[in-house]
């Protein structure tokens, strides 16, 4: 196994001397295989050290087998993307594209990248769905070989099965690709080697409508002569446990896992061999005796199958498969990065608890699993691994907050001198592992934590002079990593792990500063649209399973907030085009039910300002503010899409909602019904008040009266620091940032948090652990303050009219304990970065603006006359610049 020690890191732009394109993408992915569209979008970033540099023109050419199939021609345009404009692409074909860009001085630079199309037509699928043939195996009984199952529910999980097919290639291999997916989870092998490094494939989508297939290059694994392709198949989201469902077996989408794969081998003479799943495959159970995302995995090394996916293996005894025929109706090409192991964490501490029982600390709460080295075990020895996020005060593992998720793996030894165990079809949210039944002494070297998540490319970096704030950012980052596991989940540990819509929309701006999450959320939005009810309501969780609730204020509004935010961050109007019908149907639904424009009816579960502290934000205030927000974004989307009538209609509706809001909730003194922090923050942030001073005054008074302490829950917390800063109270925002009393971010950090907690009082000095019914230590919602760190502390944001950061606002706010802060963000056109530092009464601000962008830079000094840029007096605090590197000094 190759350990991933580098972590989830930012790739720096190249160091260049002139305008240079880099990071070429097709459909927003680097050199993707198996794209599902015949007219992909090609995009690139730019780097240049030259001040004021920009792309004057570009030219894209597309080649197939070295032959040009499309030439965009030189286009005088500073856009850094183009949609393929030639004849529709051919299915299952490799393409190369070259990009030339020309700068303002007429100098050119050229680079190239690749992509390959997948199966663009459903008729090309020859593969049949395979499953274990239950009919010819009447004795089949799922084993109950897991000790102490938390509930009998586990007994119904069928053990994963191994599938194989041997075949002969009569000619050499020029190119070989496998297109594969499963109703369940699968891992492919070919000739004894694992195929690819993707995990938990095919990922979670609304399988009733959309099932992604993955494309792998296996050219290097195959050869002329005998070959074998094989797969392990487990249940996953398809038929395993998801959420807290208490049915005897989860079966959200189907009852049994099924496999689908199509291997396509191209030979040098142009001929093609296709080996697809069909009745000629064979299958059997193997060493994985049990696997479930929530419950864990059991592995019996005594049952290992040896070289089962290699030629020459004796497959006697393997059973015929159940051939369920072809049905490609739900298949779509994967559009986003898969889950991968992105970092391996060595154990930091092992504590012996006696009798072969140990508690291992990874030092970091993650979503993932453990790889365990076992030495000196006897055949049949069983080792149990239980996972938890926290320890009890006596040092034992705390698991009460997992509810019915077992999060337990078992390994049974075959008695070899050295063995390794790592489950493949489960994922746990944990920092600590209890390892029981280990032979001899367990050391930190025997245990590695493997962090798993959707491998969204890293986009941002933030660091400052304060260790507590850096830890907060690390916690936010790990919250994102632990919860972006194929879909944006609420938490990775308990029997939940659902795509809660409010959590997703609240955290999205922060998430987007940290990683390129465009395709990740675009994929999720497709499931959101699919799940919308006939009336137009959006379920609380996407993909839609379990809750039965839909149309909740702030939750269902993800339908408008997510596409609009993605558009603003990435500038891809196709997101809006796709989302438009569901945006519009959503706001129409709320409007129909609330003709007087105060959202009181059809509020579903109405969670209010979820997990607020000791106050109760008025629910109608919250709902109506969100109604306005959704209508505002729907109108804005209509404008971008050129739908003038709709833009006018929704724009006017927004005016009326704002009026109704003021009339209903704002009194003569500017107090807002309920008088809570969130109650003030929402209308301030959503622009619902014509006169804002009173609301700001009441908000600040509330904070002061509470000794500068917050009361916000999920809905309010993201707005707190940005709004205080916007209205001249950055000092208060910094106080909240540095606060370490309960409730605050600092309180959890003071008590050792390495991720963001679900509730402010997840653990307190007075009461210990919070309510077990709902107490995750890895929930990103309260981490939505991350946006403020990037936008206001590092000072990287864009003007209200700007999309994809083409018109930057660089406005760092000094304050609190910070003496320096720095940040960078990879905008769709290139990297912007800032760094400010105060030494000996002098402020220094360094800014890099990417090619093509403009920036309004605010130098945070009390003395505008003192501002110098690159040593030259500037004499003003604010300046407007183009691309380049700028270095300001001023009085601090
Ligand atoms: C989830 C939340 C979610 C909430 C809705 C919880 O169980 O973990 O994050 O938004 O339910 O009230």
The confidence score (pLDDT) of residue 333 equals 98
Specify the CATH number for the domain of residue 33.
2.60.40.10
The pLDDT of 846-855, averaged and rounded, is 98
137 has pLDDT over 80: no
Last residue of a domain, one of 767, 793, 819: 793
Which range of residues forms the domain containing residue 737? 460-793
Q: Do 127 and 210 reside in the same domain of the chain?
A: yes
Residue 6 lies in a domain: no
The atom of ligand 1 lying closest to the CA of 501 is 10
The confidence score (pLDDT) of residue 246 equals 57
Comparing 141-150, 450-459, 703-712, 749-758, the range with the smallest average pLDDT is 141-150
DSSP 805-820: TSEEEE-----TT-SE
Specify the CATH number for the domain of residue 422.
2.60.120.260
Produce one character per residue of 800-836: b if its CB has 16 or more CB atoms within 10 Å, e if not: eebbbbbbbbbbbbbbbebebbbbbbbbbbbbbbbbb
Last residue of a domain, one of 793, 821, 848: 793
The confidence score (pLDDT) of residue 149 equals 45
The number of folded domains in the chain is 5
Q: Residue 496 catalytic? A: yes
**Given 496, 692, 787, 869, which residue is catalytic?**
496
* 664 CA to centre of ligand 1 in angstroms: 29
The residue whose C-alpha atom lies closest to atom 1 belonging to ligand 1 is 490
The residue whose C-alpha atom lies closest to atom 12 belonging to ligand 1 is 607
Q: What is the pLDDT of residues 116-128, one digit of tens each?
A: 999 999 999 999 9
Q: Do 71 and 176 reside in the same domain of the chain?
A: no
What percentage of residues in the chain have a pLDDT greater than 90?
93
The confidence score (pLDDT) of residue 136 equals 65
Q: Give the pLDDT band of residue 147 (cuts 50, 70, 90).
A: very low
The pLDDT of 561-590, averaged and rounded, is 98
The pLDDT of 573-595, averaged and rounded, is 98
Specify the CATH number for the domain of residue 532.
1.50.10.10
* 211 CA to centre of ligand 1 in angstroms: 26
Q: Do 66 and 197 reside in the same domain of the chain?
A: no
Q: What is the pLDDT of residues 225-266, one digit of tens each?
A: 999 999 999 999 999 988 887 554 567 898 889 999 999 999
393: helix, strand or coil: coil
**Mean pLDDT value across the chain:** 95
- Asked if residues 493 and 244 have their Cβ atoms less than 8 Å apart, the reply is no
Q: Is the CB of 496 under 6 A from ligand 1?
A: yes
The confidence score (pLDDT) of residue 90 equals 98
Q: Do 317 and 442 reside in the same domain of the chain?
A: no
- Asked if residues 374 and 439 have their Cβ atoms less than 8 Å apart, the reply is yes
Q: What is the pLDDT of residues 638-660, one digit of tens each?
A: 999 999 999 999 999 999 999 99
Q: Do 367 and 478 reside in the same domain of the chain?
A: no
DSSP 281-330: -EEEE-SEEEEETTTEEEEEGGG--SSTTSTT---TTPEEPEE-----TT
42: helix, strand or coil: strand
More confident residue, 159 or 616: 616
**Given 632, 758, 787, 837, which residue is catalytic?**
758
Residue 328 lies in a domain: yes
Q: What is the pLDDT of residues 297-343, one digit of tens each?
A: 999 999 999 999 999 999 999 999 999 999 999 999 999 999 999 99
The residue whose C-alpha atom lies closest to atom 8 belonging to ligand 1 is 490
Helix axes 558-570, 518-531, angle to 10 degrees: 150
The confidence score (pLDDT) of residue 135 equals 65
* 478 CA to centre of ligand 1 in angstroms: 19
Q: Is the CB of 503 under 6 A from ligand 1?
A: yes
Specify the CATH number for the domain of residue 875.
2.60.420.10
The confidence score (pLDDT) of residue 141 equals 45
The atom of ligand 1 lying closest to the CA of 540 is 5
The atom of ligand 1 lying closest to the CA of 774 is 7
Q: Do 742 and 817 reside in the same domain of the chain?
A: no
Q: Is the CB of 607 under 6 A from ligand 1?
A: yes
Q: Do 632 and 665 reside in the same domain of the chain?
A: yes
The confidence score (pLDDT) of residue 345 equals 97
Bridge partners, 890 (sequence order)? 843
Q: Do 386 and 501 reside in the same domain of the chain?
A: no
Q: Give the pLDDT band of residue 94 (cuts 50, 70, 90).
A: very high
Q: Do 173 and 298 reside in the same domain of the chain?
A: yes
Last residue of a domain, one of 336, 368, 386: 336
Q: Residue 349 catalytic? A: no
Produce one character per residue of 181-215: b if its CB has 16 or more CB atoms within 10 Å, e if not: bbbbbbbbbbbbeebbebbbbbbbbbbeebbbbbb
Q: What is the pLDDT of residues 662-683, one digit of tens each?
A: 999 999 999 999 999 999 999 9
The confidence score (pLDDT) of residue 251 equals 75
Q: Give the pLDDT band of residue 133 (cuts 50, 70, 90).
A: confident
The confidence score (pLDDT) of residue 96 equals 98
Instruction: In whole angstroms, give the CA distance from residue 182 to residue 200.
Output: 10
Q: Say if strands 408-412 and 296-300 run parallel, antiparallel, or are unpaired.
A: parallel
Residue 139 lies in a domain: yes
Of 228, 214, 221, 216, nearest in space to 164 by CA: 228
Q: Do 748 and 639 reside in the same domain of the chain?
A: yes
Q: Do 332 and 346 reside in the same domain of the chain?
A: no
Q: Do 215 and 266 reside in the same domain of the chain?
A: yes
């Amino acid at each position: 196994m190759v350990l991933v020690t580098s972590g989830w890191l930012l790739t720096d732009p190249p160091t260049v001397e002139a305008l240079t394109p880099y990071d070429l993408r097709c459909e927003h992915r680097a050199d993707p295989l198996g794209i599902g569209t015949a007219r992909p979008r090609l995009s690139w970033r730019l780097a240049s050290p030259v001040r004021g540099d920009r792309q004057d023109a570009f030219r894209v050419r597309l080649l197939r087998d070295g032959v040009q199939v499309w030439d965009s021609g030189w286009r005088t345009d500073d856009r850094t993307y183009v949609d393929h404009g030639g004849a529709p692409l051919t299915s299952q074909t490799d393409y190369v594209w070259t990009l030339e860009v020309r700068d303002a001085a007429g100098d050119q630079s050229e680079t190239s990248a690749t992509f390959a199309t997948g199966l663009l037509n459903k008729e090309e699928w020859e593969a049949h769905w395979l499953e274990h043939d239950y009919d010819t195996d009447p004795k089949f009984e799922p084993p109950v070989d897991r000790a102490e199952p938390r509930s009998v529910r586990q007994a119904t999980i069928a053990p994963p099965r191994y599938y194989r097919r041997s075949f002969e290639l009569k000619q050499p291999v020029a190119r070989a690709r496998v297109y594969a997916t499963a109703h369940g989870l699968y891992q492919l092998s070919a000739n004894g080697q694992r195929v690819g490094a993707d995990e938990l494939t095919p990922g979670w989508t609304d399988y009733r409508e959309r099932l992604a297939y993955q494309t792998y290059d296996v050219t290097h694994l195959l050869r002329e002569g005998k070959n074998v392709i094989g797969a392990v198949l487990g249940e996953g989201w398809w038929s395993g446990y998801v959420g807290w469902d208490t049915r005897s077996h989860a079966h959200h989408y189907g009852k049994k896992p099924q496999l689908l794969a199509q291997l396509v081998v191209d030979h040098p003479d142009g001929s093609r061999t296709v080996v697809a799943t069909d009745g000629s495959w064979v299958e059997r159970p193997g060493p994985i005796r049990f696997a479930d995302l929530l419950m864990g995995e059991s592995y019996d090394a005594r049952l290992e199958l040896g070289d089962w996916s290699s030629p020459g293996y004796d497959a006697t005894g393997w059973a015929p498969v159940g051939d369920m025929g072809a049905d490609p109706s739900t298949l779509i090409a994967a559009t986003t990065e898969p889950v991968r192991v992105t970092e391996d964490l060595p154990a930091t501490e092992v504590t012996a608890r006696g009798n072969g029982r140990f508690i291992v600390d990874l030092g970091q709460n993650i979503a993932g699993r453990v790889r365990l080295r076992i030495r000196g075990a006897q055949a049949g020895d069983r080792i149990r691994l239980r996972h938890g996020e926290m320890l009890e005060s006596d040092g034992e593992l705390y698991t009460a907050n997992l509810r019915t998720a077992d999060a337990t793996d078992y390994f049974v030894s075959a008695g070899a001198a050295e063995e390794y165990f790592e489950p493949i079809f489960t994922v746990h949210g944990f920092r600590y592992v209890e390892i029981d039944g280990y032979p001899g002494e367990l050391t930190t070297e025997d245990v590695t934590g493997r962090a798993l998540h959707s491998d969204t490319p890293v986009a941002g970096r933030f660091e400052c002079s304060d260790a507590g704030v850096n830890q907060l950012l690390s916690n936010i980052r790990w919250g994102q990593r632990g919860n972006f596991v194929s879909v944006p989940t609420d938490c990775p540990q308990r029997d939940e792990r659902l795509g809660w819509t409010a959590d997703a929309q609240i955290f999205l701006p922060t998430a987007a500063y940290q990683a390129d999450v465009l395709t990740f959320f675009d994929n999720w939005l497709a499931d959101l649209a699919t799940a919308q009810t006939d009336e137009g309501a959006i379920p609380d969780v996407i993909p839609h399973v379990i809750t039965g609730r839909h149309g909740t204020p702030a939750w269902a509004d993800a339908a408008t907030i997510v596409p609009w935010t993605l558009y603003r961050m990435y500038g891809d109007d196709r997101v809006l085009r796709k989302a438009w019908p569901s945006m519009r149907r959503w706001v129409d639904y709320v409007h129909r039910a609330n003709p007087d424009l105060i959202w009181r009816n059809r509020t579903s579960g109405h969670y209010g300002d979820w997990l607020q502290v000791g106050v109760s934000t008025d629910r109608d205030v919250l709902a109506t503010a969100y109604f306005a927000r959704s209508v505002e974004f729907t109108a804005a989307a209509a404008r971008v899409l050129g739908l003038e009538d709709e833009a006018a209609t929704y724009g006017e509706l927004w005016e009326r909602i704002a009026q109704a809001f003021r009339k209903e909730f704002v009194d003569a003194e500017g107090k807002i019904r309920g008088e809570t922090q969130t109650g003030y923050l929402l209308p301030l942030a959503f622009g619902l008040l014509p006169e804002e001073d009173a609301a700001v005054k009441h908000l600040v008074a509330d904070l002061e009266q509470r000794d500068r302490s917050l009361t916000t829950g999920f809905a309010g917390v993201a707005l707190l620091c940005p709004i205080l800063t916007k209205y001249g109270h950055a000092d208060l925002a910094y106080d909240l940032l540095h606060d370490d009393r309960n409730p605050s971010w600092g309180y959890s950090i003071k008590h050792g948090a390495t991720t963001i907690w679900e509730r402010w009082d997840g653990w307190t000095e007075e009461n210990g652990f919070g309510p077990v019914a709902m107490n995750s230590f890895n929930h990103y919602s309260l981490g939505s303050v991350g946006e403020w760190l990037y936008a206001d502390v590092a000072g990287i944001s864009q003007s209200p009219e700007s999309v994809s950061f083409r018109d930057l606002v660089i406005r760092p706010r000094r304050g609190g304990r910070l003496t320096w802060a720095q940040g960078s963000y990879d905008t769709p056109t290139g990297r912007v970065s800032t760094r400010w530092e105060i030494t000996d009464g002098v402020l220094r601000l360094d800014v890099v603006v990417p090619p093509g962008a403009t920036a309004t830079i605010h130098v945070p000094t009390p003395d505008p006359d003192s501002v110098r840029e690159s040593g030259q007096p500037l004499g003003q605090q604010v300046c407007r610049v183009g691309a380049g590197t700028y270095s300001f000094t001023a009085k601090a």
